[in-house]
Amino acid sequence: MFATAHRTPLPHLKKALLALCAAVGLLIGALVGGTGTAQAAGSLPCDIYGSAGTACVAAHSTTRALYASYNGPLYQVKRASDGGTANVGLLSAGGYANAAAQNSFCAGTTCVISVIYDQSPRHNDLFIEPAGTAGPANSGAPADALPVTAGGHQVYGVSFSGHMGYRHTAAAGVAVNGQAEGMYMVTSGTHVNNRCCFDYGNAEVKIADTGNGHMDAINFGTECWFAPCNGSGPWVQADLENGLFQSNLGHSTNSSDTGNSAPFVTALLKNNGQNYFATKDGNAQSGGLNTRYSGPEPSTSSGYSPMHQEGSIVLGTGGDNSNGSVGSFFEGVMTSGLPTDAADNAVQSNIVSVGYGGRSPVAAGTLSPGSTLSLRATTACCTTRYIRHQNNNAVTSPISSASSALDKGDSSWIVRPGLAKSSCVSFESRNYPGDFLRHSNYQLFRQPMDGSALFRADATFCPQSGKNGQGTSFASYNFPDRFIRHYNNTVYLAADGGPNAFDNSTSWADDVSWAVSAPWTP
């Protein structure tokens, strides 16, 4: 069902009892585990932070509730066909998004995410960001570009492909003028770039660069602002305006901070607003947090100690609307006050318990939506070769049980309903959530879904019986006389005879026939 846009605050007594229970859970965790990673049963991130004395002033997610008692809308979708809007809520209080409601409302057309609701009592909802001094008005993210699983349910994250962003100017309760705050987001280390700026956090009211220290936001990407950076990223950095900081010196002072490329990443920043900030990251599917920096505010120039935050909230762009970045967002919160390490650890434990991106909910190795599969060539020369992506190109490579985990993952694909026609299929990268197999100039690539009608058509393939009597052949949705073919180990859309070398009729029927196989990476 669709949730209503109105959210009723908890009665004071209920909030007090909830906070007391959560506080007891944290205390027990600290006494028994030593690290404070345990949490009260049923406590979600904002319950945990609230019980530790650092209440959430913003709580955004398209995948789940961030308070155990929350039962309002998570986000709003806007339909292309008629401009209609609907709120997407939860399957139950404190639970997961009702993605089926989005699917029903958007059936036969496309939708963008027009609002991401704040679950906190502050109502700091995020709207599509208008123009700023560094970029024109943004578009909303396509609502169906990032299907994942959470808690065993199909849900949708938010996939940013450049020129997309959300904002709430002059937000209520968010830190200003040197006040302390903390924030985290769950993002992806496989959908990133080196463009400014994939941020979540505190930004300027004016959508302009108003000076050093006027931002306090998590940045996640591969842009190395202050060299040297260790490894190739992506890194959790602090966007404090006019710099992405990995330390007080700007550049990385932690040789072990080489980046976090996990499919799901917890990125965390906290700042007392005066003389201290810290960054952390972790695998959002397992394990704990790693402290990447903890120390003084930046000393590269003046303005950062104390900070001068303005109290707006930004998602997906820089404070001045620098909007060339790509990225993924599943959930995030901002707090009033500096969270404790014990609370951070307990929140990470809760995030891991969600099971983001778990096993496909349907039988693997089939063309059913939600299945994970690998596509094996049936040409006599090449029956050990599978379609995989390599440096964004679709190629075929020999894959076996002895292959590396990377090669196995790159040759595994999640079947999605066709982005342009639901009775056909699209193939989402197993290793790169939100990236799909699509053609451009008749060659196939792995690229992030940008929501455009062209991309949807280019990434949609309609299965037919294999042209050589084996397996399945896949016709292009927008070029129905062309089929997915391997030729000289590169993957193309090929006709049976034509002007291009890859259209050669020799072995065409074999080269366009694929065995739908169990995935090398489930």
Evaluate whether 154 touches 304 at the Cβ level (below 8 Å): no
Helical axes 341-354 vs 12-33, angle rounded to 10°? 100
Domain assignment present for 321: yes
Final residue before a domain boundary, out of 303, 322, 354: 354
pLDDT of residue 363: 85
Same domain (yes/no): 433, 507: yes
CA distances from 454 to 83, 181, 303, 495 (A): 20, 42, 45, 20
Task: Name the residue range of residue 324's domain.
Answer: 12-64+73-116+128-354
Domain assignment present for 6: no
pLDDT of residue 57: 98
Beta pairing, strands 75-79 & 111-116? antiparallel
Please provide the DSSP assignment of 112-149 as one string.
Answer: EEEEE---STT---EEE---BTTB-PPBPPBTTS-EEE
Tell me whether the omega of the peptide bond preceding residue 224 falls within 30 degrees of 0, making it cis: no
Q: Which residue has the tokens 């056909």?
A: 424
∠ CA 331-335-341, nearest 5°, is 90
Rounded Cα distance between 217 and 279, Å, is 11
Same domain (yes/no): 388, 460: yes
Query: One digit per residue, pLDDT tens: the chain, 522 residues?
Result: 343 333 433 333 333 433 434 443 443 333 333 333 333 347 999 999 999 999 999 999 999 999 999 999 999 999 999 999 999 999 999 999 999 999 999 999 999 999 999 999 999 999 999 999 999 999 999 999 999 999 999 999 999 999 999 999 999 999 999 999 999 999 999 999 999 999 999 999 999 999 999 999 999 999 999 999 999 999 999 999 999 999 999 999 999 999 999 999 999 999 999 999 999 999 999 999 999 999 999 999 999 999 999 999 999 999 999 999 999 999 999 999 999 999 999 999 999 999 998 655 678 999 998 899 999 999 999 999 999 999 999 999 999 999 999 999 999 999 999 999 989 999 999 988 889 999 999 999 999 998 899 999 999 999 999 999 999 999 999 999 999 999 999 999 999 999 999 999 999 999 999 999 999 998
Domain assignment present for 44: yes
Q: Which residues contact 499 (CB under 8 A, 6 or more apart)?
A: none
Question: Which CATH number goes with the domain that contains 416?
Answer: 2.80.10.50
Same domain (yes/no): 227, 317: yes
Same domain (yes/no): 477, 346: no
pLDDT of residue 42: 77
Length of the chain: 522
Evaluate whether 257 touches 231 at the Cβ level (below 8 Å): yes
Same domain (yes/no): 402, 433: yes
Rounded Cα distance between 84 and 86, Å, is 7
For residues 279-297, one letter each, b for 16 or more C-beta atoms within 10 angstroms of the residue's C-beta and e for the rest, the string is bbbbbbbeeebbebbeeeb
In the three-class reduction of DSSP (H, G, I as helix; E, B as strand; rest coil), residue 391 is classed as coil
∠ CA 216-339-237, nearest 5°, is 35
Burial of 50 (0-12, 13-18, 19+ CB in 10 A): buried
pLDDT of residue 361: 64
Same domain (yes/no): 350, 378: no
Rounded Cα distance between 499 and 410, Å, is 31
Domain assignment present for 366: no
In the three-class reduction of DSSP (H, G, I as helix; E, B as strand; rest coil), residue 232 is classed as coil
Is the Cα dihedral 343, 345, 349, 355 positive or negative? positive
Domain assignment present for 26: yes
Comparing CA positions, the residue from 216, 208, 232 lying closest to residue 271 is 216
Same domain (yes/no): 392, 347: no
Same domain (yes/no): 155, 216: yes
Following CA atoms 123, 89, 447, 139 in sequence, which dihedral angle do they give, to the nearest 10 degrees? -40
Domain assignment present for 3: no
Beta pairing, strands 166-168 & 312-315? antiparallel
Same domain (yes/no): 340, 382: no
Number of domains observed in the structure of the chain: 2
Domain assignment present for 214: yes
pLDDT of residue 359: 57
Same domain (yes/no): 414, 339: no
Question: Residue 104's Cα: distance from chain center in Å?
Answer: 23
Domain assignment present for 230: yes
- Catalytic residue from among 199, 320, 503, 511: 320
pLDDT of residue 41: 42
Evaluate whether 220 touches 237 at the Cβ level (below 8 Å): yes
Question: Which CATH number goes with the domain that contains 166?
Answer: 2.60.120.200
Final residue before a domain boundary, out of 308, 325, 354: 354
- Per DSSP, 403 falls in state S
Q: Which alpha helices (H) appear in 192-299, and where do they start and end?
A: none
- Catalytic residue from among 199, 209, 216, 241: 241
> Can 241 be counted among the known catalytic residues?
yes
Count Cβ atoms below 10 Å from residue 452 Cβ, excluding itself.
13
Final residue before a domain boundary, out of 354, 387, 415: 354
Rounded Cα distance between 325 and 191, Å, is 10
Count Cβ atoms below 10 Å from residue 497 Cβ, excluding itself.
10
> Can 223 be counted among the known catalytic residues?
no
Cα radius of gyration rounded to whole Å, the chain: 23
Is the Cα dihedral 316, 318, 321, 324 positive or negative? negative
Same domain (yes/no): 191, 220: yes
Count Cβ atoms below 10 Å from residue 40 Cβ, excluding itself.
22
Same domain (yes/no): 270, 383: no
pLDDT of residue 360: 59
